């Protein structure tokens, strides 16, 4: 009886490990799949007023899929979406779905000039956090506070800007680019923005937390592929 109990327990642990592995999607839908990633309704607001002075609105996620070095999405501890190709040989190659950055609108709701100090701010996707890389910057300047410009917003005006974690600007195969941050298949990935905003010479701190980021549940159900 004791041996049977241990056997059942081992089977349960194996099943739990399999269940917790990343979610594999069908390869034939890959070209359209990344576009399905979006904010999950009911998990937060895309538009938020911070400190009664600056309104932040998430406009569009920058999403993609890529091969991630050192990440094995099929591992039991993994919680990410991926698809698998054979590459040029028999060894499978896993491509992970993720988010590179965020296009947003910043609106000054005050009668004073606001200055956003990006070199003192933080931009986070999932677990990766760093000062922001702004799309207009040179890739080689990513992560350099001295080369990270401020954004000046006149009274009652707004600007649009694209932000990426500077930590994800990396060189792969000798080419510098913006790597994506895998989104969790548990539906818990968010973007957090910690802003340093100056008004009349006084700098204050305020934060924006996005809704959760995920694939639509019906899309996952229709395109989930069993692992082998």
Q: What is the pLDDT of residues 80-111, one digit of tens each?
A: 898 877 666 667 778 889 999 999 999 999 99
Q: pLDDT tens, 103-131?
A: 999 999 999 999 999 999 999 999 899 99
Measured CA to CA, the distance from residue 135 to residue 163 in angstroms comes to: 6
How high does pLDDT run on average in the chain? 86
CA distances (Å), origin 44, targets 21, 50, 182, 211, 212: 27, 14, 20, 4, 7
pLDDT at 19: 40
pTM recorded for the entire structure: 0.85
Residue 143 CB partners (closer than 8 Å, separation 6+): 130, 131, 133, 166, 167, 169
Per the document, the length of the chain is 228
Q: What residue numbers bound the domain in which 43 lies?
A: 22-223
Q: Give 211's DSSP letter.
A: P
Instruction: Decide if 16 is inside a domain.
Output: no
> Per-residue pLDDT for 135 more than 50?
yes
Measured CA to CA, the distance from residue 5 to residue 218 in angstroms comes to: 37
Instruction: Decide if 53 is inside a domain.
Output: yes
Instruction: Decide if 9 is inside a domain.
Output: no
Count of domains observed in the chain: 1
């Amino acid at each position: 009886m004791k041996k049977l109990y241990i056997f059942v327990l081992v089977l349960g642990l194996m099943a739990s490990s399999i269940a917790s592995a990343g979610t594999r999607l069908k390869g034939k839908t890959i070209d359209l799949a990344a576009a399905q990633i979006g904010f999950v309704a009911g998990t937060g607001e895309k538009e938020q007023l911070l400190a009664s002075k600056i309104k932040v609105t998430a406009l569009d996620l920058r999403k993609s899929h890529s091969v991630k070095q050192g990440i094995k999405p099929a591992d039991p501890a993994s919680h990410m979406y991926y698809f698998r190709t054979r590459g040029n040989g028999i060894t499978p190659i896993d491509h992970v779905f993720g988010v590179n950055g965020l296009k947003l609108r910043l609106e000054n709701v005050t009668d004073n000039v606001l200055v956003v100090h990006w070199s003192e701010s933080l931009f986070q996707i999932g677990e990766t956090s760093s000062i922001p890389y702004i799309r207009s910057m040179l890739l080689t300047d990513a992560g350099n506070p001295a080369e990270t410009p401020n954004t000046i917003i006149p009274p009652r005006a707004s600007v649009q800007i694209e932000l990426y974690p500077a930590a994800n600007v990396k060189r792969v195969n000798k080419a510098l680019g913006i790597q994506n941050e895998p989104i969790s298949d548990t539906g818990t990935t968010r973007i957090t923005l910690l802003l340093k905003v100056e008004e009349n010479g006084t700098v204050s701190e305020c934060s924006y937390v996005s809704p959760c980021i995920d694939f639509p549940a019906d899309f996952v159900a229709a395109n989930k592929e069993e692992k082998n």
